[in-house]
Amino acid sequence: MAELSVEHLLGIKYLNENDIQLIFETADHFKEVINRSIKKVPSLRDITIANIFFENSTRTKLSFELAEKRLSADVINFSAGQSSVKKGETLIDTVNNILSMKVDMVVMRHPNPGAGIFLSKHVNASIVNAGDGAHEHPTQALLDSYSIREKLGDVAGKNVVIVGDILHSRVALSNIFALKLQGANVKVCGPKTLMPKHIESLGVTVETDLRKALNWCDVANMLRIQNERLDISYFPTTREYTQQFGVNKKLLNSLDKEIVIMHPGPINRGVEITSDVADSKQSIILNQVENGVAIRMAVIYLLASKIK
Ligand code: CP
């Protein structure tokens, strides 16, 4: 049986193209399963998974939990806010205590970049990064590429623009790695102040004119401003940001072609995207969420098959 080249999913940076294709083919199978009347398979009846979230989440947390349950794994959930982390317990102590309860896999969201990498070096379990600060969000990038593949037939050769707060976005970095690995052409668009220095070294080009970027692309992935990570003001006002980098129906209708609109969520309606775009037939935002379950089932299933 084909297997992943990695024991943990810490970032797209550590995957190769074959890993991505294997995850997609496995997700195709699980997507068919979750559309049956009986949406569950017994594949992981002998596996226990802990979802440990040190940061807020709606989509990723629910999607992982559902994916694990659809695979018949035993699932425990941990939110830092209601835990002994509040009493000063360290990350390693917390996770080792959870692992003493015979847990095989840890899905972790953490505000610190590299938290998953650190954990994978110190605990004996398979680690899945569910978002680590402004570093990576690998399952989001996988479900994003999978949704492009589903909508447009392939990712290779497609023009994709990622718009918004590139500097603070783990979604942007993971998407750039994933899209480049699959042969897509990638532009990033946003205020210069929210563009990392040397971003071109990742094989992307920078465009500060949103209309030009939209006229070039097949797909626009709209990101929200990561207000929780902004310690200073990176643009004059939200209103000016929206005028320059927000997408609305009038702008979309004035383009040369019909493009696909994506957003990882949560949406700030009226800031980076208006409701008439988010809810339009050009938007695949809810397809992304639906595909997230199949992608996470595939990732967990493939990693579990490598647990000795
Ligand atoms: N896309 C995403 O990570 O959403 P949540 O923060 O709600 O999990």
pLDDT in tens, 96-126: 999 999 999 999 999 999 999 999 999 999 9
From 54, 55, 57, 222, give the residue whose CB has the most ligand 1 atoms within 8 Å, as the site to mutate.
57
- Same domain, residue pair 164 and 254: yes
Place of tokens 């939200």: 238
User: Considering the chain, what percentage of its residues have pLDDT values greater than 90?
Assistant: 91
Q: What are the residue ranges of helices labelled H in 163-284? A: 170-181, 210-216, 238-245, 249-253, 275-278
Taking every pair of C-alpha atoms in the chain, what is the biggest distance, in angstroms?
Answer: 59
pLDDT at 293 exceeding the cut of 90: yes
Residue 50 lies in a domain: yes
Selection from 152, 117, 159 nearest residue 135 by Cα: 117
Q: What is the pLDDT of residue 226?
A: 77
Give the CA distances from residue 24 to residues 31, 55, 86, 279, 305, in Å, rounded to whole numbers and listed in that order: 10, 27, 39, 26, 16
Burial class (CB in 10 A: 0-12, 13-18, 19+), 72: middle
Nearest to 132 by CA among 146, 104, 113, 118: 113
C-alpha distances out from residue 273 to 49, 180, 236, 266, 268, Å: 36, 25, 18, 11, 7
- Whether residue 300 sits in one domain with residue 198: no
Regarding whether 40 and 177 lie in a shared domain, the answer is: no
81 and 189 assigned to the same domain? no
Domain identity same for 297 and 262: no
Atom of ligand 1 nearest to the CA of 265: 1
Which atom number of ligand 1 is nearest to the Cα of residue 130? 3
Verify that 36 and 66 share a domain, yes or no.
Answer: yes
Positions of E strands within the chain: 48-53, 74-79, 105-110, 126-132, 159-163, 185-189, 205-207, 219-222, 260-262
Pick from 41-55, 82-96, 194-208: least confident: 82-96
Do 131 and 150 have their domain in common? no
Domain assignment of residue 4, yes or no: no
Name which of 45-54, 81-90, 227-236 the model is least confident about.
227-236
Residue 232 has a pLDDT of: 65
How far apart, in whole angstroms, are the C-alpha atoms of residue 202 and residue 123?
31
How many folded domains does the chain comprise?
2
Given a cut of 70, whether residue 137 has pLDDT beyond it is: yes
Confidence of residue 231 (pLDDT cuts 50, 70, 90): low
In a domain, 115, yes or no: yes
Residue 6 domain-assigned?
no
Q: Is the CB of 140 under 6 A from ligand 1?
A: yes
Average pLDDT score over residue span 135-141: 98
What is the whole-number distance in angstroms between the Cα of residue 264 and the centre of ligand 1? 7
pLDDT at site 229: 67
Question: What ligand 1 atom has the least distance to the C-alpha of 56?
Answer: 6
Bond into 138 cis (ω within 30) = no
Ligand 1 close to Cβ of residue 264 (< 6 A): yes
- Regarding whether 112 and 126 lie in a shared domain, the answer is yes
Q: What are phi and psi of 95, to 5 degrees?
A: -70, -40
Residues 156, 264 share a domain: yes
Residue 154: the pLDDT is: 98
Looking at residues 193-213, what average pLDDT do you find?
97
Residue 281 lies in a domain: yes
Atom of ligand 1 nearest to the CA of 63: 8
Residues 143, 245, single domain; the answer is: yes
User: How many other β-carbons are positioned within 10 Å of the β-carbon of residue 231?
Assistant: 5
| Integer Rg of the chain from CA | 19
Mean pLDDT of the chain: 95
- Hey, whose CA ends up nearest to atom 4 of ligand 1? 59
Query: According to the model, what pLDDT value does residue 230 have?
Result: 66
Pocket mutation for ligand 1, best pick of 58, 132, 137 (most atoms within 8 Å of C-beta): 58
CATH number (domain holding residue 216):
3.40.50.1370
Among 53, 59, 128, 139, which residue has the most ligand 1 atoms within 8 Å of its CB, making it the best to mutate? 59
Q: Is 70 inside a domain boundary?
A: yes
Q: Whose CA is nearest to atom 6 of ligand 1?
A: 57
| Residue 80: pLDDT band with limits 50, 70, 90 | confident
Residues 113 and 235 in one domain: no
Q: Report yes or no: 291 and 150 within 8 Å, Cβ to Cβ.
A: yes
33 and 74 in one domain? yes
Residue range 155-171, pLDDT digits in tens:
999 999 999 999 999 99
Is the residue at 2 inside a domain? no
18: Cβ–Cβ under 8 A, 6 or more apart, which residues? 2, 5
Distance 171 CA to ligand 1 centre (A): 10
User: How far is it, in rounded angstroms, from Cα 80 to Cα 55?
Assistant: 8
Model pTM score:
0.96
Classify residue 3: in a domain, yes or no: no
Residue 60 Cα to ligand 1 midpoint, Å, equals: 5
260-262: strand order across its sheet: 205-207, 185-189, 159-163, 219-222, 260-262
Q: What per-residue confidence (pLDDT) applies to 235?
A: 82
Give the residue numbers spanning the domain of 150: 138-286
